[in-house]
Chains A and B, each alone.
Chain A
């Protein structure tokens, strides 16, 4: 059963020359009991999708159903069963964490107090501090508790782990797995590939407002390449030696450094560098966009 289903969901901001097509005919299905990652660079339309699903903004055309209910017409009933963590969480700064939780619990018509205590203890959240005095990580934890406190059938999380330390990220991952094991669903928007890789079952990739593909995480991560930048003293001779290597491509030279794309193991590259004096060596993972382009060429569906 689909917990989220959109049909040609489109959102256009502004008009005329100012027109911005933030989301373009989105057709998406998220199934019950899965953790669905919603990936894309900033400005791709992730947050717009979430705001449409929660009826914070209205579609230009198309429709969305969440948990079998119309996202717009039945939003109040729907929100009883949804937990939401916005990307930029803003709360009443003069209130303590406990006061914020109490208000939200009351607006939800009451929550399981024992579960609420368990959540705050697990996330090590001190509720006696005013929101304005929370660190960004603690504010994020408070947001997670707010989203989870009513044991929602669907969790909608926008960049959930920003500001959390590694230990808390691990606890967050555990909570997500437990949520899935209980048959509940998670819709997680992120631009962080490692986070999505760690916990999601499937991912949808969004680019410039269009859903490019929906894929199993395991397939997405088979791309397996990285960027290498070398700073060497004899830069002129190096590209010629590297071109012949297996797995090396897209070599470019800039001043005394060489940038290349490496697929597979490092060993052939390191052997080829034995005759060079290497001053610096930097390796970085490809961006999501680069993985996407590597996987799908120019962005067309295979």
Chain B
């Protein structure tokens, strides 16, 4: 692997990466600005605690004790929404691996060069994985800078962990979208299924969160959001089993995408 395409992808997409980073950093700053001190946090928790339990479960704030710490509040207020935003990024990046260029006809030029289809897909995937990492690092930087405006002492490592935990789920969405784009020749259909996957996973996790037990709750395990957030102590990294599962599924999806992309006609 020469890395030429990897570097070119990084060059071509640095600007949108900065926009995404800025968006997430602003979200982080907003979340931190809401809780400048312990009084503000206590007031917020009291407000939340006054809501009926089913609603709290549904919005993912069932454990009010978790919200009672700044790290827990950031986990709830930032990570939940940032994961949804990054899922959209993952979807767009998945389409940018090959599907958009195939739709535009650019792949005809690229694949007439000494470049295998596998190398094309892999270098692009690695490039977008690095860009995803960059986005989360820059957004974590936003959290760290924002924490200076509060009276809390927030460990930078905990804030970086919160942001880093968003990466595996984003990669999974990217790989899923790449698989759809590789397996289905129609760009619109692949995009539609990927959108359904992102939104469907979100609602599956949302509904499962509102039901404490039973089959519907278990269905939530099919959602990647569950594995990106479940069982995480505030300010700590994803549990190893969650990380392994998310990356393992990503790898399987990516291998599937490579298999299909290597075997099908281009541009039809």
Residues of A within 8 A of B (CB): 13, 51, 54-58, 75-77, 79-80, 82, 84, 86, 88-92, 94-95, 103-104, 106-109, 146, 156
Contact = CB atoms under 8 A, between A and B. Distances in A.
A58 B268 CA distance: 11
A104 B113 CA distance: 8
Contact of B105 (A88, A94, A108): A88
Contact of B4 (A55, A84, A107, A156): A107
B105 A90 contact: yes
B114 A109 contact: yes
Kindly name the residue among B112, B113, B114 whose own CB sees the greatest number of chain A CB atoms within 10 A: B112
Nearest to A83: B112
A168 B46 CA distance: 76
A79 B112 contact: yes
Kindly name the residue among B108, B110, B115, B265 whose own CB sees the greatest number of chain A CB atoms within 10 A: B108
Interface of B: 2, 4-5, 8, 12, 104-116, 263-268
Instruction: Label chain B's interface by main secondary structure.
Output: loop
A90 B108 contact: yes
B105 A56 contact: no
A56 B112 contact: yes
B61 to A, nearest CB: 42
B116 to A, nearest CB: 5
A57 B116 contact: no
A199 B266 CA distance: 31
A89 B109 CA distance: 8
Given A76-B116, A90-B104, 16 more contacts: A54-B112, A56-B107, A56-B111, A57-B265, A57-B267, A76-B114, A79-B114, A84-B108, A84-B109, A84-B112, A89-B105, A91-B106, A92-B106, A95-B12, A107-B110, A108-B114
Nearest to B108: A86
A90 B107 CA distance: 9
A187 B168 CA distance: 48
Given A90-B108, A103-B8, A13 B115 contact: no
Contacts of B105: 86, 88-90
10 contacts: A13-B268, A51-B267, A56-B111, A57-B265, A57-B267, A79-B112, A86-B112, A89-B105, A107-B5, A156-B112
B115 A76 contact: yes
A83 to B, nearest CB: 8
A18 to B, nearest CB: 13
B113 A58 contact: no
Contacts of B116: 75-76
Contacts of B106: 90-92
B187 to A, nearest CB: 14
Contacts of B12: 92, 94-95
Given A89-B109, A90-B109, A57 B268 contact: yes
A13 B265 CA distance: 10
